[in-house]
Amino acid sequence: MNTASVSLGTSASSQSRLLQLAFAGLLGIFVIGFTGFSHIEAVHNAAHDARHSMAFPCH
């Protein structure tokens, strides 16, 4: 897992690369969970039209 590859002038091991990509994906899932799935009333109301318009389960 130590094969270094080039990335925009820096290098990263493939393990670190996987980890960073996984982190980015998790951050995205967290964001979607907040805007699309949160049960907090104010969050729901603020994102109401977007939630309906993106067909998230609502109400």
The shares of helix, strand and coil residues in the chain, as percent rounded to the nearest 5, are 60, 15, 25
2 binding another protein? (CB under 8 A): no
49 binding another protein? (CB under 8 A): yes
Query: At 51, which amino acid appears?
Result: R
Please measure the distance between the N-terminal and C-terminal CA atoms of the chain and give it in whole angstroms.
46
23 binding another protein? (CB under 8 A): yes
15 binding another protein? (CB under 8 A): no
Query: At 47, which amino acid appears?
Result: A
Q: Which residues bind another protein (CB under 8 A)?
A: 5-8, 10, 12, 14, 16-18, 20-25, 27-32, 34-37, 39, 41-42, 45-59
